[in-house]
Each structure stands twice: as C-alpha cells, then as structure tokens.
Amino acid sequence: MTNAIQVRGLTKRYGDVQAVKGIDLDIRQGEVFAILGPNGAGKSTTVEILEGYRKRDSGEVSVLGVDPARPTREWRSRIGIVLQTANDAAELSVRETVRHFADYYPNPRDPDEVIAAVGLTESANKRVRQLSGGQRRRVDVALGVLGRPELIFLDEPTTGFDPEARRQFWELIEGLAHDGSTIVLTTHYLDEAEALADRVAVIAGGTIVAEGEPGTLGGRATAKATVSWADGSVETDTPTKTVLELSRRFDGEVPGLTVARPTLEDIYLTLIEAPRD
C-alpha cells in the first residue's frame, strides 16, 4: 500500500530543548492515523512539520510525494487542515464563509452539502460570532474538508463538542475515510482515537514510544485481564478459567462479575509515564 506520509530521522530543536528526536513514521494512503501524546511531547511540532508550517532541523519528510518544506500551490490544494484554534470571519454567516473559502479551491465540494455534513444546515444563515464554541468548531471542519483533500490533518477537532455532536463528527470522518481520504488525527480523547483510528502512534519525550492498532497497542491484546466480583479481584492470563472456578465456588452466578483488559487509556498512561533516557 502506498504511503501518504513517510518520515525518516526527523529532528527539531528549540534552543537547548530537542523537541523531536529522530522520528520515523509511515502513514498509509487511505487510513485514519491518530497521533497521541501529552503536551510538550513533540506531537504538535511533528504535525506542523508535516503540514509545512514549521521547518525541521534534519531528516527526510515526504507528504503526498512532496517535501512540505518546499510546498507548492498544487500540493496545498490537496491537503485540508483543521487547526486547534482558528481565526474566523465573525461577521459573515456560515454559508457566506464556506462559499467564500470554496473559491480558493480548483474543485471544491458543494458548500451547502459540506454545511449539511457538519450539521450546520439550521445555522447556515447565522453569523459566525453568534455560534456556540462547538458550532464554530464545525465551521473549522467544514473549511478543512471543503477542497476535497486527499489528506486531512485534524488537530483536536472535537474540542467544545457535546456528546451528540462528537458522534456526528465521527460519522463524518468515517465517511471521508470510506471515500479514500487519508486522515491524521491528534486528540486527547482516547475513546475518539479508538473509535476512528486504524492505527495509533504515541509520542513522548520527542520519540515514538509505541505504534500499532488501538486494540493491540503496547501489548494490550495480550495483557493480563482483571476479573472482579463482589468481594474480590485478581489479575490473570486465563480469565475464562478464573470465571469457571468462581462459578463453581458460587454455585452458578458470580455476584458483581466483570472481566476487563487494560483500556487504551491505561496503556497510553503507562507509555507516557515510563522513564526515558
């Protein structure tokens, strides 16, 4: 499968602080890839270099076959970016804003279809300044997908969304991925990464400390299970056997029985808290 993004030996230093320490990364065409990490880990710097907003110190970077340090207008038209914060035209309506930005692209999506896709049809004639924080975020997403991008960068896209809006946004992302867009997602919501991402990379201390599918990241699929019941719990590699033993002990139904393996959040916290050189 062709890589939409390929990175080798990426480094970036700010004064005495080395923010990125030799990252290697492959993101396949058509996949949803989540980049996770705490603040100050190098996550945002890495993504900004991929977007062409920040210069690297060393390493090789290819994004849709182009070095983002030497972007072209045609290359930028193939990329959609939803920044964590954006300055909007507050006095324009939603429809006016989306139609205005559509003129920047050679083959934009229909503005009204995009407005509907992000759930803003009923607010299309409202001025942007009249919208809630979550609704403004939907405008940002609309502008990010308007140009039919092959590659979409989403930086904390659901900040300020209520639960219903987050679910609607997830459906939008799933639809874009189904249509063949490659999506790079940064988020602090681990359930969002698990719901949307085909693969995940965790950055800590300027390096990638783990990479893989959400269900198997950091040995998650083979980690010990915790079997809990009303008056006890145990970690075990053989949860089925443990449940059978408990069933015999309680002569059938085990009160308060739960069986759980580590969540993605559990694995993530373990990864970012591990000591590093």
Structural domain spans, the chain: 219-273
pLDDT in tens, the chain (277 residues): 589 999 999 999 999 999 999 999 999 999 999 999 998 899 999 999 999 999 999 999 999 999 999 999 889 889 999 876 656 677 899 999 999 999 988 889 999 998 988 889 999 999 998 988 778 888 888 898 898 899 999 988 887 777 887 887 888 888 888 888 999 999 888 999 999 999 999 999 999 999 999 998 988 888 889 999 999 999 998 999 999 999 999 999 999 999 988 889 989 998 988 766 5
Calculate the CA 256 to chain-centre distance. 35
What phi and psi values does residue 205 have, to the nearest 5 degrees?
A: 60, 30
Residues 177, 149: contact at Cβ < 8 Å? no
Give the per-residue pLDDT at 250.
93
- CA–CA dist 7, 100 (Å, integer): 34
Give the per-residue pLDDT at 277.
54
Helix H or strand E segment including 63: strand 58-63
Calculate the CA 65 to chain-centre distance. 22
Residues 183, 144: contact at Cβ < 8 Å? no
Q: What would the pLDDT profile of 118-172 be if each residue is shown by its tens digit?
A: 889 999 999 998 988 778 888 888 898 898 899 999 988 887 777 887 887 888 8
Residues 128, 120: contact at Cβ < 8 Å? no
- CA–CA dist 203, 208 (Å, integer): 4
Helix H or strand E segment including 5: strand 3-14
Could you give the angle at which helices 133-145 and 94-102 cross, rounded to 10 degrees? 20
- CA–CA dist 56, 13 (Å, integer): 8
Would the CA dihedral through 16, 17, 22, 25 be positive or negative?
negative
In the chain, the N- to C-terminal Cα span, in Å, equals 34
